[in-house]
Amino acid sequence: MMEVHSNFMEGTSGINAHLAKRLRGLRAERGLSLDGLAERTGVSRSMISLIERGESSPTAVVLDKLAAGLGVTLASLFAEKENAGASPLVRQAEQRVWRDPDSGYVRCNLSPPGFPSPIELVEVFLPAGARVAYDTGRRSVGVSQQIWIIEGEIELGLGDEAYQLFAGDCLCMDIEQPTIFRNLSGQPARYLVALTTDAKPSNR
């Protein structure tokens, strides 16, 4: 029987506090006001303000829009600011785990937090019947990723294409177009996401 990552212990308040600090820091680094980030992302100023004060539990879709507007990956919102002195090793007990309040999917950042690396690894648990749709489209950074199914099966919609992925399958993709993850089976699915980013000129 599939089990969610053993470190799913950090409370919602702890995760929200981390996201609040991370988002404030990234917005400040880019010289963006709340209104400026709202205009870039389509997320309301009031919602961004609530998230940055740790008073809201944002969904994966909202966080993805904010990440795209800030020029980072969704995974990086759960990580730490890059630090040359960060450890290259992270133990399982230290890996940050988060549950999407909308779909119930669980994601775990596997990569050492703050350690400079072009690769990010994320483990995802998608409950039976769950659906997560990202519609942010073109970004100010290029994001390439591979998805490897560990257990179960998912349907992945990528623009006009649809892929049925089973245990052991691996799909290379970018996220320059709307992406939908669905678990149409009666069992949870578990998969690994490996992603890299490349800076590129913004069209915004």
pTM: 0.86
In whole angstroms, how far apart are CA 181 and each of 9, 77, 118, 174, 186? Answer: 25, 20, 24, 14, 15
Q: Is residue 83 included in any domain, yes or no? A: no
Task: Tell whether 100 and 167 lie within a shared domain.
Answer: yes
Per-residue pLDDT 10s for the chain (204 aa) are: 555 555 544 556 788 999 999 999 999 999 999 999 999 999 999 999 999 999 999 999 999 999 989 988 888 899 898 898 999 999 999 999 999 999 999 999 999 999 999 999 999 999 999 999 998 655 566 778 999 999 999 999 998 999 999 999 999 987 778 899 999 999 999 999 999 877 554 433
Task: Tell whether 65 and 100 lie within a shared domain.
Answer: no
Task: Tell whether 110 and 194 lie within a shared domain.
Answer: yes
Q: Is residue 86 included in any domain, yes or no? A: no
Task: Tell whether 121 and 189 lie within a shared domain.
Answer: yes
Q: Which domain holds residue 39?
A: 12-77
Q: Is residue 7 included in any domain, yes or no? A: no
Q: Is residue 49 included in any domain, yes or no? A: yes
Q: Which residue has the tokens 């257990």?
A: 151
Q: Is residue 104 included in any domain, yes or no? A: yes
Q: Is residue 82 included in any domain, yes or no? A: no
